[in-house]
Amino acid sequence: MLEKEKLQRINALAAKKKAGSIEKDELEELKGLREEYLKNFRSSFRKQVENTKVVDPEGNDVTPEKLKRIQEEKNTRD
């Protein structure tokens, strides 16, 4: 997870960019921080999806086969 300080820095730089007062080095910093944020977000979201089990109203496991295979490969499937 991205540290609170980094998220605050992303927001501060984004505000400067929107105001039109951002410098070139700050723009590069913003780009790098955003890439790091997206990398962490995607990783976290992937883990969450890979640990999901889909159950219909009758209680039947209807998890997609592709997801079941991934879960079995990672030994997270019951």
Phi-psi sector, 74: left (phi>0), alpha (psi -120 to 50), beta:
alpha
The pTM is what? 0.74
Q: What is the mean pLDDT of residues 8-27?
A: 96
At residue 36, the pLDDT reads 95
Using pLDDT thresholds of 50, 70 and 90, give the confidence band for residue 1: low
Could you give the CA distance from residue 33 to residue 10 in angstroms, rounded to a whole number? 7
| Domain boundaries, given as residue ranges, for the chain | 4-73
Residue type, 64: P
CATH code of the domain occupying 4-73: 1.10.287.540
The model's pLDDT over 39-53, given as tens digits with 9 standing for 90+, comes to 999 999 999 999 999
